[in-house]
Structure 1
Amino acid sequence: MEYLKAYLSAVGGRLFLLPSVISGIVGLLGILKGLGVGFLPEITAPWLILLAFSIVAAWSIAGLLNKVVTLQRQVASSLKIDFEDREPWVSQIENSNIPTPADPHNKGPSRWYRVRIFNLRPDKSAKNCRVRLAKIEYSQDGTDFAESAASLPQKLRWSNSQDFYESIDVAALEPRFVDVISVDPTHNRLFLKTPPDEAWLVDNGLTDRVGIYRLTIVAVADEGVGATCTLRVKWSGHWDETKVELEE
């Protein structure tokens, strides 16, 4: 079915060029006849249509083959990680739990940034999938990035799941979200969503500096299946001005 969709996409995107192809052939043949080329066939509408369809068909097949190769590579990699600056990757919670030393039951607004893990295999689950924050880099102006000495690979938590930091099976063609950072006005800083008992390794004042952070995230499943993405986080010092984008 995916290959059929690829074919229809490849062909459909080119059929609208058919009139232009015919006009181009007519013009080219007219020029050649004007130059005295005598071996050209008679210009007839059926002949031109057949030739134009042959050209479009060859072009479409080339597009199909390219899409098939792309699909095969995606299936081989199996997992994909992505991010977009909108729901549900970015979630605004108006009444979330934000405990403080003075008030462990404090509530207030917060914003969460997540990546999506997608299993591209149409017929097989990604077994024992786990997601790690593999590397943290910092730059004051977004040019020269330096890796943090404290950025040891750490677990990231599955969104809206009881498993949190455990390995899970991601079903065929199933999207799952993973929490990466959160911000709120109470603390006014970046919080990395690593295990609380290990947070000191990556979160002990590491994101207090204003500037650009690059977070490298890795998803791995059994059979050597994996994917990587890098988020660029701009921290201005104010929680409501946080900017996150996927680095291509």
Structure 2
Amino acid sequence: MLQTFGVEIDENFLEILLFSNKSFDKYSKKKVLPAKTVIDASVTENRSFIYIEKGVTKIVASHNTKETTISFSGDGEFIGFASLLSRGSSQFALETISETTAYFIDPYFVLNVIDESGWGTSILLKIIENLTQSVNYYGQFNLLPAKAKVAAALLHLESKKLGKGEGQLPKEICQHHLASYCQITREYATTILSKFEEEGLVKLTPKPITILDIYALKQMVGFEVAGSLH
């Protein structure tokens, strides 16, 4: 986490900057979206900067009719950091997994608030740092065997603390979501998860999926797994 004169530059800091700005309501729109809503145009055409107030979402990349989940996001997270630094349209779509309350924020307003905050350089450097870490993470992730990918997926979700209790994943997350994130079949993901349960690493039922041995999963992955920015 980047610190400047004792101030921690993170998503919470940016949230305070944006929501406390007197023009926030003018440049943002709050929406309540049902589960399984694909927010495509809002991301790729209008390039909105999105704040998830409540809910679970996934970022999806499509290639030749095949969809791959790139990341999961939830309460208190922003989506659209890459669009702040690029004029090009995003190649990703956002889809809600649960009912989601989100703010769609004008990216130019976000940049102006950052610029006028007095912390502009520090905030942008932190965004670039996190985006770079995300790229490096995906490079490492794609080289993992399937079993380690599933472990990384579980850790990715747990790191966001989207579940209600210690080690819990959001109750809406199922084998299908993990399979898409790991780029394997649902059947293979189920087989791996069942093996994890036999080994005492996770508990699959009743929902939500719960991690019982986070250390063993981290050892399996071999590098730090955390949330990612888009």
Using the size of structure 2 for normalisation, the TM-score is 0.25
Larger fraction in helix: 2
Using the size of structure 1 for normalisation, the TM-score is 0.23
**Larger RCO (CA under 8 A, 6+ residues apart):** 2
| Larger Rg belongs to | 1
Larger fraction in strand: 1
